[in-house]
Amino acid sequence: MKKFLYTFTFIILLGILFTGAALAQDKLPTDDEVNKVAHNLYCPVCQNTPLDVCPTDACKDWREQIRGMLAEGKTEAQIQQYFVDQFGDRVLAAPPLSTKFNLIIYIIPPLIILAGAIILFRSLKEWTTPKAVEAGSGAARDASEASSQKDSYVTRFEEELKKQK
């Protein structure tokens, strides 16, 4: 009798386990799960509208299609690939690195920012150089030039005096 009870309980537990698994498989993905995938895709018809917030009937259909694909067990990457195969790269939120041309999009902006930073750094350094020193050095240079001119004048004057003597 005890053995029968153990077997019966085991069968019931096994039944519950399998029914739960089957129910979990049948359960359709929630709106949040669908929108999570749809957020990284763009409406192929409307301009710059993510699929999760796009209000058109066509977008509703695509969201339902995503729900169906998720229910089939497809991953987000597989769903994205399906949309790319159907509608092209324009449905992706970010350009893929699959083509060499797209590399420009990822490399050039940081390079331009870096170049801008270097120019800004150099300019700031130049601007913050004390003007007084520069002005001072300019004045000193002028004074020295004036002094050397004066010296040559004095020398010539003295030479002329000597000649007259």
Partner 1 sequence: MTEETSNAKHGVPIWTQVVIWIFVVGLLGLVAFGLRRAQNPQAAIGKPVPDFNLVFYEGYEYNGKKEMKLSDLQGKIVVVNIWASWCKPCEQEAPDLQAAWQIYKDGNDVVFVGVDYVDTPAGANEYLTKFNISFPNAPDLKSNISSILNRQMGVPETYIIDRKGILQNIKIGPFSSVDEIKSMIQSVQ
What's the first-to-final CA gap in the chain, in angstroms?
152
Binding flag, residue 39, partner 1 (CB under 8 A): no
E strand or H helix at 10, and its extent?
helix 2-26
**86 is a contact residue toward partner 1 (CB under 8 A):** yes
Min CB(26)–partner 1 separation in Å:
20
Question: How far apart (Å, rounded) are the C-alpha atoms in residues 137 and 139?
Answer: 5
The interface with partner 1 within residues 114-143 (CB under 8 A) comprises: 115, 126, 138, 141
Total residues at interface with partner 1 (CB under 8 A): 20
Contacts with 59 (C-beta within 8 Å, 6 or more apart), sequence order:
43, 46, 49, 51
113 touching partner 1, by CB under 8 A = no
Distances (CA, A) of 98 to 40, 101, 131: 17, 9, 53
Residue 14 or residue 112: which is nearer to partner 1 going by CB? 112
At closest approach, how far in Å is the CB of 61 from partner 1? 4
Contact between 104 and partner 1 by CB under 8 A: the answer reads yes
8 A C-beta contact, residue 42 and residue 48:
yes
Could you say whether residue 65 binds partner 1 (CB under 8 A)? yes
> Smallest distance, Å, CB 63 to partner 1?
10
45-64 residues in contact with partner 1 (CB under 8 A) are 45, 56-58, 61-62, 64
Cβ at position 160, least distance to partner 1 in Å: 30
Interatomic CA distance for residues 58 and 43, integer angstroms:
9
Options 108, 117, 120, 154; binder of partner 1; rule CB under 8 A: 108
User: Please, are residues 54 and 46 in contact by the beta-carbon 8 Å criterion?
Assistant: yes
